[in-house]
Amino acid sequence: MDPNNVWAALDTLPVTHETWDDLINVAVELRLNKQWDPIALICQWILYKSSFQTDVMCYNLLIDAYGQKYLYKKAEETYVDLLQARCIPTEDTYSIQASEII
């Protein structure tokens, strides 16, 4: 799966509340099915390439995807990005991080 092709397709989506809800619902469904690469692609696009107002849920999904793929440095960098974006970590954020350490 080429990230640039995925991001180009995502770039065609309208920036609406409905699109946001759809993207998050897809990412959550992918998480339930342990599809870590597509989750990472969607969340990377939302956080770093789109004009959507991001929230902690998207950061949590990306941190979890990185952790599940043993990309702990990227998970840590995403956590720092979360803090720099002035998002407030949730219990889920800390739970995800703790599960990566164990």
CATH of the domain at 35: 1.25.40.10
Count of structural domains within the chain: 1
Cβ neighbours around 52 below 10 Å, total? 18
Nearest to 35 by CA among 93, 59, 43: 43
Mean of all residue pLDDT scores within the chain: 92
The domain of 39 spans: 3-101
Structure-derived torsion over alpha carbons of residues 38, 42, 43, 48, reported in degrees to the nearest 10: 130
Helices (H), 1-102: 3-11, 17-32, 36-48, 56-68, 72-84, 91-101
| Contacting residues for 89 by C-beta, under 8 A, at least 6 apart | 56, 79, 82, 83
pTM, two decimals, is 0.88
| Residue 67, pLDDT score | 94
Tell me if 62 sits within 8 A of 31, measured CB to CB: no
Show the tokens assigned to 78: 């995403």
User: Does residue 29 register a pLDDT over 70?
Assistant: yes
Identify the CA nearest to 19 among candidates 50, 48, 56.
Answer: 50
Q: For 50-98, how does the pLDDT look when each residue is reduced to its tens digit (9 = 90+)?
A: 999 889 999 999 999 999 999 999 999 999 999 999 999 988 888 887 7
